[in-house]
Amino acid sequence: MANLSLYTVRAVVVMDGDGNRLIAKYYNRGQNVQSYKTLKEQQKFESELFSKTRKSNSEIVLYDGQTVLFKYVNDVYFYLVGNPEENELLLGAVLNGLVEAISQLLKYNIDKRSVLDNLDMVVLALDETIDDGIALETDPNAIAANVSKRGVDTIDVSLSNFNEQTVMDAYKLAKERFNLALLR
């Protein structure tokens, strides 16, 4: 009997071309096995995974009793670690949706530098795609739109606006925006 669970993803790891971690999120909720609890265990897993997949031509491997899908774009490796009995097509759709959404958000320029410079958008895209090990979204357009929409909700505090206003006007504007943010 198949284990029916919403918790399909165990980890998402983004590494550079040298095998250094850029982003890593490990999800243990809903998992039978509590693996990679410590940073040392995570780093060991990541370095071994990188050395195994660095020269691989396939996009999926079974490693350490887990299904691992990976995608290499320019100098960035994206890894999605799932349960061993999980459907590879579902995991592939999640990984491809995440990578394509990040590509859209970074204006189709995925490299180590742009990922680090836009780390906030990349992490938001990851959170929009996977929540605590549950795959939420696979459509890259929806993921990118949700991340972009969050950017609109932030308060615009540019210096040019304040230079044109008096201190009292700036205070009133900040107070109004704060009240609007509370009402949302």
Look at domain 9-151 and name its CATH class. alpha beta
For 1-32, what is the HEC assignment? CCCCCCECEEEEEEEECCCCEEEEEECCCCCC
In the chain, where are the structural domains located? 9-151, 155-183
- Under-50 pLDDT residues of the chain: 1, 151-155, 157, 162
Alpha-carbon distance values, 68 to 24, 76, 145 (Å): 14, 16, 27
pLDDT value of position 184: 62
Residue found under tokens 């265990």: 41
User: What local confidence, expressed as pLDDT, does residue 100 receive?
Assistant: 92
For tokens 């836009």, name the residue: 118
Q: What is the pLDDT of residue 78?
A: 92
